[in-house]
Amino acid sequence: MLAMLRNSTCRLLLSACLGSSFVAGVCAADGTAPDSPASEAATKFHVVGISPNIGPPIFDPEIGRYLTDLIYFSAEPSPDGNLKVGRLKPEHLRKLQRIKEEHKTALLLCVGGWGRSAAFPQLAATPAARAQFVEALLRFCREEHFDGVDLDWEHPQGGVQERDYAQL
């Protein structure tokens, strides 16, 4: 499942990685399908890179010139809707900001992922925790000048969790 939602503040990339280590999607700049007649930018594609937070970002910052978006892995949700960002190192965030400034690359924060998705079922199950989570994500994006979030819930199990994921 891949969908892009956008508003004036933050872009949200939702992805459920079902049995694969990386899901890639292509959408037009306006969020429509590339072949949609409604899309005037049907030929503009997003080139997305991912950077782990284990050690310094492992690529030369000049690679940013080839990317439209860069996903930084990974913060972790908490069951009450807060965001655990202790693994995100300030020096990495500064390097990512430099890439954004120099190359106009959009920065997205990956939340969840392998070994960091345990709180999603409880978080997604209640409206209050979902609202808290959205506030925490918006606060992070605004404070750290990120452009969006990649939700990487590995993996919703069954109909109830799939419904809760859609609500999130």
CATH number (domain holding residue 95): 3.20.20.80
Q: Confidence class of residue 66 from pLDDT cuts 50, 70 and 90?
A: confident
Q: Does some domain include residue 137?
A: yes
Q: Does some domain include residue 41?
A: no
Residue range(s) defining the domain that contains residue 141 = 49-167
Q: Does some domain include residue 37?
A: no
8 A C-beta contact, residue 129 and residue 135: no
Q: Does some domain include residue 12?
A: no
> Is the predicted pLDDT of residue 35 greater than 50, yes or no?
no
pLDDT in tens, 2-27: 333 333 333 444 333 322 223 333 44
Q: Confidence class of residue 55 from pLDDT cuts 50, 70 and 90?
A: low
Tokens 């030929």 belong to which residue?
A: 43
Q: What's the structural domain count of the chain?
A: 1
Show the CA angle centred on residue 87, arms to residues 139 and 70, nearest 5°. 65
| pTM of the complete model | 0.74
Q: Does some domain include residue 13?
A: no
Q: Does some domain include residue 43?
A: no
pLDDT in tens, 85-143: 998 888 888 888 999 999 999 999 999 998 999 999 999 999 999 999 999 999 999 99
Q: Does some domain include residue 6?
A: no
> Is the predicted pLDDT of residue 77 greater than 80, yes or no?
yes
Q: Does some domain include residue 4?
A: no
